[in-house]
A = this chain, B = another copy of it.
Amino acid sequence: MTIKRIDHVAVVVENLAAALSVYRDALGLVVSKQETMPEQDVKMAFLPSGDSEIELLEPIHPDSGIGRYLARRGEGLHHICLEVDDLQATLAELKARGTQLIDETPRRGAYGQVAFIHPKGAHGVLIELLQRD
């Protein structure tokens, strides 16, 4: 099993338009896609950079997971996503070592199978593992 790359770095922001004035207009990153995902309670902008991308997330509702995170911690880095070639094998290895997980088994994400490692299991970092379809 292998980690292929950092698929994306996710940043929680209060207002997507305001954040784009820095990340797109000042830094010169290009927005490849912008969409609202009601089932995840976020508006998102995707800004590819090398073989990774920066994802900006604006919560739609203050009482969603991301909304509560913003209220508690403020704007900033939220999680990193690592693309793996074999999510089942990676989860089995993590479980065998007693790493604290949010998802014990893969679940369906927008682009493939995903599972999250709990920040307590990864030294304070919320890690999404993604096996693309």
On A, residues with C-beta under 8 Å from B are 1-6, 9, 11-14, 18-19, 21-23, 25-29, 49-52, 54, 56, 74-77, 80, 82-83, 90, 93-94, 97, 99, 119, 121-125
Contact = CB atoms under 8 A, between A and B. Distances in A.
A22 to B, nearest CB: 6
Contact of A2 (B4, B28, B93, B99): B28
Shortest beta-carbon contacts, A-B, top 7: A5-B50, A76-B124, A75-B124, A77-B77, A75-B123, A13-B123, A6-B52
Given A50-B4, A50-B5, A122-B22, A27 B77 contact: no
A14 to B, nearest CB: 8
A73 to B, nearest CB: 8
A27 to B, nearest CB: 6
Q: Is the interface of A mostly helix, strand, loop or mixed?
A: mixed
Contact of A99 (B1, B6, B26, B56): B26
A75 B27 CA distance: 28
